[in-house]
Structure 1
Amino acid sequence: MRILEVLRAPVGGLFRHVADLTRELAARGHSVGIVVDTLSNDSQTEVLLDDLGAHASLGIHRYPMPRLFGRGDLTTPLAVSALARRLQVDVIHGHGAKGGFYARLAKFGRTKARVFYTPHGGVLHYPKISASGRLFHRLERMLMGKTSAIIFESAYARKTYAELIGEPSCRTEIIHNGLRPEEFVPVIPAGDAADFVFVGELRALKGIFTLVAALKDVKRRDGSGASLVMAGDGAERGSLEAQIDQLGLSGRVSLLGAQPARPTFAKGRIAVVPSHAESLPYVVLEAAAAQLPVISTRVGGIPEIFGSTADRLVPADDVLALRKAMQSAIDDPDAAQAEMKIRLSHIEAGFSIARMTDSIEALYHGSLRNADAVFH
């Protein structure tokens, strides 16, 4: 197959998903091209795209994709449609709100490609009452007829989409994100590892203030205060530092700045993901696959990752519940390890990159076969 993947900014979990999918599809003999934004690239994203370029035999193509609305919203769909015709692609797959918008608008051109769409949160982050939400949700309903299938990365995302926008009239599939085989190799905590490790953006939505407040009264078995390392950066780092100082935790909390997740896991013994909202966060998958005990909140698709251990999830923005879970993990490490192994088996069975790509590839093939049957 000849496949065009369309997304806006090549950063975060969405880009990781597209990059993994591109590499796997290319390894299976498919020709893949990438469409990204010209407005949000920096030196870091250029390195990522250059690395991916070896697997994108149809090239990496850049067009303006404004974050909200702008001139690019008029010109880029036409450009994507023309590119799809020139490359003779069979499939256009849009990722995120803007990627899905451009991929489906391209069908108003003369391309015969089948169009798939994965929201990755995207439009699901816009409430119905906001002006942007009303507009994006209206566009979603208008473009449903141009969509061969919507791929949701979690059952939670599909449910939320139906609640905000309406029950999809096109085909839908729930296909969980997957991890690479090497990500299931256990990470061994360093000798001086902290008790807890957090990896994520430093913003209130990620539960950083709840986490630090919960840590204050968590004790080690020798009675000393538990420690925490936090990898990440963001606009609310200053407020977080002020909270740490105010609570007298400067000696117990280390802020590492932005760091890759996997090496950071070795700096802690128990991963904590205290988010107030999520879709299907890679960091939970990565930490669990690295064989760390994981404490997390019951938001988004995280219960799907936890499987039969989902009863261990805590409510979002609940300092007392989070503190209790953290203290329990320190007091009974054997129970935390046993729970980790149950969760690991669940993730190994359902969240591999091979399984993810198998499902998406089969969906592409099935849609193309149906199109050929209708044509003939």
Structure 2
Amino acid sequence: MTAGKLRILQVMRAPVGGLFRHVADLTRELSGHGHSVGLVVDSLANDAQTESRLTELAPHVALGIHRFDMPRVLGRGDLITPLAVRKLAKSLDINVLHGHGAKGGFYARLARLGGSKAVAIYTPHGGVLHFDKSSASGRVFHMLERWLMGQTGAIVFESAYAQATYGGLIGAPTCPTRVIHNGLAADEFVPVPANADAADFVFVGELRDLKGIHVLIEALAGVRRADGSPATLVMAGDGSSRDALVAQINQLGLEARVSLIGAQPARPSFARGRIAVVPSLAESLPYIVLEAAAAQLPVIATRVGGIPEIYGPTSSSLIAANDAVALQGAMQAALDAPEATRQEAVQRAAYIAERFSLARMAGDIEALYAELTAPA
């Protein structure tokens, strides 16, 4: 190995959502800095969209993309895959095993059992933090977290909120920890102007209950423009709650006011609306808030997870989650005071540009790798 250059395996289950965005960005940056990176993913994650994402990342993955059985909850793969990852790490002479999410974190650390020389780093990305400690699954996962602490070189939290939540659920980590916020590339701070026919509001994300989509539709029903006409909404995304969402839209008679355009890239979708809405019931440090705010869209969001860390000096604008009345009020206020809404968006974008860059995120993680792998 060239001095200072590392051989790294990024381990995750499914290449979807913000977790994959984080891993993909980190992989490109590490590869660009001369490190050799490999990727471990679930063997069942092979739909067309997943394959397209992995194909795009392949030029940056010098150590290859490796697929193993990674059941969503608990299954046979949980006994076999850690051994396969350990064997792979040995054959590739890996220095760093970085597990992302609950399953990626388990496999990366379990792979160290048996005396592996690789250091294991873990980033929860929500994952195990979303399991209630009173549930059977929560008790199992939280017990595993405590048991694996001895195999953990460091835990990277993407928000101070995640760090505090982990401590409350699992206990104070006995290994080093870092809070390293997600970051955006320079071109993501270029403003996205609204299309001429843009809706009043835009939602970009998964169509599932946890994202607060039903609260959003309920709130939209009472929102009006200055001329008294009803406000409109574009929703870019797909997911398990789509059918229930369509039923709710029809029940409230909002078919002409809500456009469902399916899963779409974020930045082009931002141009479809003038104000972004992120009504999530729970989050860690959501990329969609970072992306929309960096693009200088006004963003209406809930006070959950690490979102206050993104909002910084504008955090007083955040609203309570699962509160249709509060959301309706925030949406109406944004339409009623467009200049104040725009000024707040500019202020928020400037705050994010200083603190949430991809260069800073990758640099801080790379420095942690170097620290943990340095000769004693």
- Quick check: 1:218 aligned with 2:239? no
Task: State how far apart, in whole Å, the 2-side matches of 1:233 and 1:4 are.
Answer: 30
1:264 pairs with one of 269, 276, 292 = 269
- 1:360-375 superposed matches below 5 A: 360-369=365-374, 372-373=375-376
Indicate the residue corresponding to 1:334 in structure 2.
339
Cα offset, 1:167, TM superposition = 0.7
- 1:288-327 superposed matches below 5 A: 288-327=293-332
- In angstroms, what is the RMSD of aligned CA positions? 1.0
Is the 8 Å Cα contact of residues 9 and 41 (structure 1) preserved in structure 2? no
Is the 8 Å Cα contact of residues 85 and 110 (structure 1) preserved in structure 2? no
Task: State how far apart, in whole Å, the 2-side matches of 1:54 and 1:72 are.
Answer: 28
Cα offset, 1:191, TM superposition = 0.3
User: Matched residue of 1:317: which SS?
Assistant: coil
The letter for the 2-side match of 1:160 is T
The letter for the 2-side match of 1:231 is A
Unpaired runs of 5+ residues, structure 1, are none
1:103 pairs with one of 108, 122, 133 = 108
User: Matched residue of 1:284: which SS?
Assistant: helix
Cα offset, 1:242, TM superposition = 2.1
Is the 8 Å Cα contact of residues 287 and 294 (structure 1) preserved in structure 2? yes
Indicate the residue corresponding to 2:183 in structure 1.
178
- Quick check: 1:189 aligned with 2:191? no
Indicate the residue corresponding to 2:39 in structure 1.
34
Deviates more, 1:349-358 or 1:75-84: 75-84
Task: State how far apart, in whole Å, the 2-side matches of 1:69 and 1:40 are.
Answer: 16
Is the 8 Å Cα contact of residues 82 and 109 (structure 1) preserved in structure 2? no
- Quick check: 1:356 aligned with 2:361? yes
- Quick check: 1:66 aligned with 2:57? no
The letter for the 1-side match of 2:31 is A
Indicate the residue corresponding to 1:87 in structure 2.
92
Cα offset, 1:308, TM superposition = 0.8
The letter for the 2-side match of 1:195 is D
The letter for the 2-side match of 1:319 is A
- Quick check: 1:124 aligned with 2:129? yes
The letter for the 1-side match of 2:105 is G
| Number of residue equivalences | 371
1:280 pairs with one of 281, 285, 289 = 285
Is the 8 Å Cα contact of residues 78 and 109 (structure 1) preserved in structure 2? no
Cα offset, 1:240, TM superposition = 1.6
- 1:222-233 superposed matches below 5 A: 222-233=227-238
Cα offset, 1:235, TM superposition = 2.3
Cα offset, 1:144, TM superposition = 0.3
User: Matched residue of 1:358: which SS?
Assistant: helix
Task: State how far apart, in whole Å, the 2-side matches of 1:50 and 1:191 are.
Answer: 35
- Quick check: 1:253 aligned with 2:273? no
Task: State how far apart, in whole Å, the 2-side matches of 1:318 and 1:236 are.
Answer: 19
Task: State how far apart, in whole Å, the 2-side matches of 1:210 and 1:65 are.
Answer: 33
Indicate the residue corresponding to 2:206 in structure 1.
201
User: Matched residue of 2:112: which SS?
Assistant: helix
Unpaired runs of 5+ residues, structure 2, are 1-5
User: Matched residue of 2:187: which SS?
Assistant: helix
User: Matched residue of 1:144: which SS?
Assistant: helix
Cα offset, 1:43, TM superposition = 2.2
Cα offset, 1:283, TM superposition = 0.7
Cα offset, 1:361, TM superposition = 0.5
Task: State how far apart, in whole Å, the 1-side matches of 2:105 and 2:38 are.
Answer: 15
TM-score by structure 1 length? 0.97
Task: State how far apart, in whole Å, the 2-side matches of 1:152 and 1:335 are.
Answer: 33
Task: State how far apart, in whole Å, the 2-side matches of 1:327 and 1:68 are.
Answer: 41
Cα offset, 1:39, TM superposition = 2.1
The letter for the 2-side match of 1:165 is I
User: Matched residue of 2:281: which SS?
Assistant: coil
Is the 8 Å Cα contact of residues 53 and 59 (structure 1) preserved in structure 2? yes
1:144 pairs with one of 135, 149, 152 = 149
Cα offset, 1:71, TM superposition = 1.8
Deviates more, 1:205-214 or 1:262-271: 205-214
Cα distance per residue 1:230-258 (max 9 Å; x no partner): 11112222222222222222211111111
The letter for the 2-side match of 1:205 is L
- 1:5-44 superposed matches below 5 A: 5-44=10-49
Aligned-pair identity in percent equals 66
Deviates more, 1:246-255 or 1:264-273: 246-255
Deviates more, 1:214-223 or 1:243-252: 243-252
Task: State how far apart, in whole Å, the 1-side matches of 2:115 and 2:58 are.
Answer: 27
User: Matched residue of 1:34: which SS?
Assistant: strand
TM-score by structure 2 length? 0.97
The letter for the 1-side match of 2:207 is L
Cα offset, 1:37, TM superposition = 0.9
Task: State how far apart, in whole Å, the 2-side matches of 1:197 and 1:313 are.
Answer: 17
Cα offset, 1:40, TM superposition = 2.7
Task: State how far apart, in whole Å, the 1-side matches of 2:248 and 2:83 are.
Answer: 49
